[in-house]
Structure 1
């Protein structure tokens, strides 16, 4: 009908069932990679006018579909918000320099709360009028950035582009900080770590991994400025039973999965300690991709898990463990789960957790950890 009415092209999208909280990420903002490609292919077979494919398309998918004449053009939204220079970088054969979209939905979630557009990976979005964001420095300064997570790496990248002499210190052997555990739970987060690390290696930034920042070490370098990007200071709440041997706080859980926390590892049986020791020294636990795959086979975590705290970290950990066959219960003292997540991603994560049988409890109080049970009201 559209072709007969004189349409010059067809943009093939879809709409979801608004009766479900997950609807928005089924359509029109499809979460499944290339989720609308079958629709575009069918439209191409039936029509003579150009077909525009949309819906979480990666570059290789787009190139393959164009080469196969499955569609004629590609439209991208979120990817262009993450990196408006994407088309130019593709044409210049600089695809490695394209800042990745991590599909966190913060951009579109702003619509629901009547706020200006923002992007989790592109801080310049909406700030393009401020030319001073990456202006060259009038005087080059020696700057130390402490912390190799996304915040620290982005700071080092921008400062180096401004002409400063930058050193990045990270106490771990790998870049990413706590984003590494987030990348285990949600693979697109790892793309941001790799992109930032790659950009830093292409810039005159001194990267020092395994470097612990101390007052003496900083003073010895005599920097003009120091930027501290070490992330949040996390302290586990004073819950009765939190010191029992089968209880781990967030930092210990991270250290357990990557084999970097000797205190957490000592809570495990000897054979599990040995397996983690071997995996760490074979460099297996340094690869997020490999660890994501192998964790489906084995992890030093038992079958039934209670997560106390249903914020962003708690629900993403629940998502990660549920996908690996654990029986999960989440206890959140507050009234809402994961208020830090963007509205759209929050709706999707909570819906999927419930669909997969995760027990989610809000308003949990009087929490007490015992040897084999967790008591709460």
Structure 2
């Protein structure tokens, strides 16, 4: 068989272990971590699916090596904890039995202990230990680790590595980036020590070297040891790429694989986890430069999900391995699809941060485009229905398409009707925003899945009670979505007004001076796009905050982009749209004109309840999903569509 992506698909030997391809699953934290730090069964299933999906290595994250000085609620591996070794063993086995190498990331949070805790009050009650005595930006005091405590931590790394090897893990990753303890010692910003662990670069590298030596002694020769570092801290006062190269050279003798990431988690989340506003592979240059100066294999990471781009990275010698995290949430089978020349079936990550926001909010996992995520323990196979039925789906947006696809996979006869000439629902509008183009591409992927599964698709066909009666389906899934909210404000129906949903069809109408009316997520993202195009953009919002409907991870990065490109007017009620802009009333009851010769109306959506009400009795089983039931998110539409189909 001729591989379409031969370099990406080729094996690599690291230490004495051969990995089946160059696509590795990056560290991702579990969700059902027990109170004493054991890996729960849901997390085991979570990691297993990445092994089943074809990744060459699957990294379990994060195992904290020294609870005495790092009380973070993360994994521990300790024989004094009942079930700790067993849980780790079951997890390693679950990954390995699918041909992947299980890897365990060993870490210490240092001065940021407890970062992953949902209860932040407990985090602030902890003793925080770091390189130096200091006070964190949030007012928490940090005490410097003594040399005796450092020796304990170094020994703990070795002891935990030995247990990981006993549990069946085939590689150890030492986390030395993103602002955690080892990075705190490497960084001139954090490390102001005057003893042998501070000052010169060699001294700042000393702790990392001692840790790596301790781990090597514990696991023996030939066992792959990987070091994860930030190629550059990407903030003033931290080390830059030039010093990152020197750090890599210092550590090279002690490791088998150098994993080059970027940034400092606490000071640059959007650097460590590139948002939709950044280019894919924006951090690859760090690995590419460091690779020129070391002789060991180098791995890269950073919003990678495109096979052609990843193939070029390996083929051109920028890196030897590519790591993915969010991309393997969106599609755990991405590596397998690449290996099997099925890259046109990849479901791409949208970089919407739903996965990370959900973990921060509820300590669970969810993915916008993959309803299995976080629920892998329930199985990833869609079982055939015992009794095959006729299913009618009303609406061809993401929820309707995924529902149709799932029902067809179960063996049902499925007919999907979309009243417009094109599938996609509200996602059609995303084609106008380059940084959200993958959201638009999602429709094509879901359509391909549905057609390949046997779904019969009818465009320009609205599901009415008469059509439903004619089809006489056993089940009806109502996914008719929502419609734009356009209140009766004078002038809002004028020629200079474009509804945000229709912007992709009417771009030529929009002048160089624009007012975006509505500061929710849709309005903010459209305003950013218009600003990126060089237009003068004003944003009007009645509330005192922007984008409250954006998730907690995406919103701060969104607001940074707003600051770059948009003039914001909050606390302003739009009273009238004119040819010169929008007349607004401020909180002080003063009237002002927010100038703009074009207006984008982005005042929200409301459910098509009138259509839903006419269809409620049109089949024995009726399910209402997505915006048709309640205006919400693509995440909920896809999830509800999947389960509605499973319930037939």
Same fold (TM over 0.5): yes
1:238-280 Cα shifts (integer Å, max 9, x gaps): 33433444334445xx1x6437xxxxxxxxxxxxxxxxxxxxx
Residue 347 of structure 1 deviates from its aligned partner by 2.0
Separation in 2 of the partners of 1:124 and 1:142?
Answer: 25
What's the counterpart of residue 66 of structure 1? 314
The Cα of 1:335 is off from its aligned counterpart by 2.8
Match of 1:11 in 2: 259
The answer on 1:162 being equivalent to 2:370 is no
Does the Cα contact within 8 Å between 2:432 and 2:504 map onto a contact in 1? no
CA pair 38-366 structure 1, distance change in 2 beyond 3 A: closer
Decide which moves more: 194-203 or 343-352: 343-352
Q: Secondary structure at the match of 1:178?
A: helix
- Partners of 1:196 and 1:81 lie apart in 2 by 16
Cα deviation for residue 66 of structure 1 reads 1.5
Do 2:542 and 2:574's aligned partners in 1 also have CA atoms closer than 8 Å?
no
Which secondary structure does the structure 2 equivalent of 1:160 belong to?
A: helix
Residue 575 of structure 2 corresponds to which residue in structure 1?
367
> After superposition, where does 1:144-293 map in structure 2 within 5 Å?
144-185=392-433, 186-251=436-501, 254=502, 257-258=504-505
CA distance in 1, matches of 2:472, 2:410: 20
Larger radius of gyration: 2
Are the equivalent residues in 2 in contact too, given 1:149–1:178 (CA < 8 A)? yes
With over 3 angstroms needed to count, the CA separation of the structure-2 counterparts of 1:361 and 1:134, relative to structure 1, is farther
CA contact (8 A) 1:328 1:359 kept: yes
Whole-Å separation in 1 of the counterparts to 2:450 and 2:380: 21
* Per-residue deviation, residues 99-155 of structure 1 (Å, max 9, x unmatched): 111111111223433431211111110112224983221111111111111111111
Aligned equivalents of 1:133, 1:342: Cα separation in 2: 30
Q: Comparing 134-143 with 107-116, which one deviates more in the overlay?
A: 107-116
Alpha carbons 2:431, 2:504 under 8 Å: kept:
no
CA distance in 2, matches of 1:258, 1:232: 18
What is the deviation of 1:17?
Answer: 8.6
Gaps of 5+ in 2: 1-249, 587-648
**Structure with the larger strand share:** 2
State how far apart, in whole Å, the 2-side matches of 1:369 and 1:70 are. 53
The alignment's C-alpha RMSD in Å is 2.2
1:129 aligned onto 2:377? yes
Q: Give the stretch that moved more between structures: 147-156 or 338-347.
A: 338-347
**Which stretches in structure 1 are left out of the alignment for 5+ residues?**
260-294
TM-score normalised per structure 1: 0.81
**Which residues of 2 match residues 5-84 of structure 1 at below 5 A?**
6-16=254-264, 23-29=268-274, 31-57=278-304, 58-84=306-332
Give me the whole-angstrom Cα distance separating, in 2, the residues matched to 1:129 and 1:64. Answer: 35
Cα deviation, 1:69-96, whole Å, max 9, x if unaligned, reads: 3221111101111111122222222111
Q: 1:112 to 1:131 in 2, by over 3 A?
A: closer
Q: 1:361 to 1:16 in 2, by over 3 A?
A: farther
CA pair 197-2 structure 1, distance change in 2 beyond 3 A? same
Contact 2:372/2:380 (<8 A) preserved: no
Residue 359 of structure 1: CA displacement?
Answer: 1.4
Q: 1:324-366 CA distances to partner (integer Å, 9 max, x unpaired)?
A: 343221111123211222223222222112212x112222236
Instruction: Please tell me whether the aligned partners of residues 307 and 329 of structure 1 are also in contact (alpha carbons under 8 angstroms).
Output: yes
Distance change in 2, residues 1:306/1:93 (3 Å)? same
Hey, what's the Cα distance between the residues in 2 that align with 1:65 and 1:133? 33
Aligned residues: 331
Q: TM-score, normalised by structure 2?
A: 0.48
- Aligned CA distance change for structure 1 residues 338 and 138 (closer, same or farther; 3 Å): same
Residues 144 and 227, structure 1, Cα contact 8 Å, conserved in 2: yes
Q: For residues 343 and 133 of structure 1, do their structure 2 counterparts lie closer, same or farther at Cα, with a shift above 3 Å needed?
A: farther
- Does the C-alpha gap of structure 1 residues 246 and 65 become closer, same or farther in structure 2, counting only changes over 3 Å? closer
Residues 206 and 49 of structure 1: is their aligned pair in 2 closer, same or farther, counting only changes over 3 Å? same
The answer as to whether partners of 1:16 and 1:28 remain within 8 angstroms in 2 is: no
Partner of 2:42: none
Q: Which stretch has the larger CA shift, 24-33 or 48-57?
A: 24-33
SS in 1 for 2:292: helix
2-side partners of 1:334 and 1:230: how far apart?
29
Q: Does the 8 A contact of 1:13 with 1:28 survive in 2?
A: no
